[in-house]
Structure 1
Amino acid sequence: MIEISASKVVQVIFQAREGRVAEAELSAFIENLNDDEQAHLTAIAWVGRGSFDAEDYAEALMTARTEKTTPTADYLMGMPHLAENLEAGLDALGVDVDAEEEDLL
């Protein structure tokens, strides 16, 4: 189902929480993900903010792939509450965010 490692999503969450301090690093990290990973990252954020239900993840993913009009890093970094959306999205999709965060620390 999810084709981006949870550790990569958690890395984005950490960097998004840093705000302007990690802005360049976050942008570079997202830009270095492949197209599929970027689409999954966007879909996870959409699930987390309630634009799609977890059961509609495949639809969110397809929408992320077909309706992309701006660079993913720009789009996601402009999203209010990105870190919270990604965390909520992972949780809704059944990924244990706390365990992933512990592994990263």
Structure 2
Amino acid sequence: MSEIDLEITPAKVVHIIYQAREGQAASAELHEFIAALNDDEKAHLTAIAWIGRGAFEAEDFTEAVETAYAEATTPTENYLMGMPHLAENLESGLEALGVDVSGEEEDFL
């Protein structure tokens, strides 16, 4: 698979993964963090989550992003925070896309 052009940094995705794992205590902070992302970052974040849960294949990333833009009828932060297993979906999505986040993960340990 060719290198994808992510509009959100892996570090931001890792931050969201760690916040999502913290559970309810961090939910307000996570909500604000996602809300503060720009539209491109939100669409790419949603596409990563969809790929992680199997709604799209990694090679269909562009289509997933286009779908995220087209279907963004509710605030992204509300949609993603209502998604079961958000952290796992994002992790799986990054892995499927071949995005190496080992350096970013070390910053949180």
Does TM, normalized by the shorter one, top 0.5? Answer: yes
State the SS of the aligned residue for 1:3.
coil
- How far has the Cα of 1:104 moved from its partner? 4.0
> 2: distance between equivalents of 1:16 and 1:25?
10
Equivalent residues, number: 105
2:67 to 50, 63, 66: 63
> 2: distance between equivalents of 1:55 and 1:71?
26
Identical residues among aligned pairs (%): 69
> 2: distance between equivalents of 1:48 and 1:98?
17
Gaps in structure 1 of 5+ consecutive residues = none
1:93 to 91, 94, 97: 97
Q: Does residue 25 in structure 1 map to residue 29 in structure 2?
A: yes
- State how 1:1-105 maps to structure 2 within 5 Å: 1-105=5-109
- How far has the Cα of 1:54 moved from its partner? 0.3
- How far has the Cα of 1:98 moved from its partner? 2.9
What's the Cα RMSD here? Answer: 0.9
Whether the aligned pair in 2 keeps the contact of 1:45 and 1:85 (CA below 8 Å) is yes
What is the TM-score with the length of structure 2 in the denominator?
Answer: 0.93
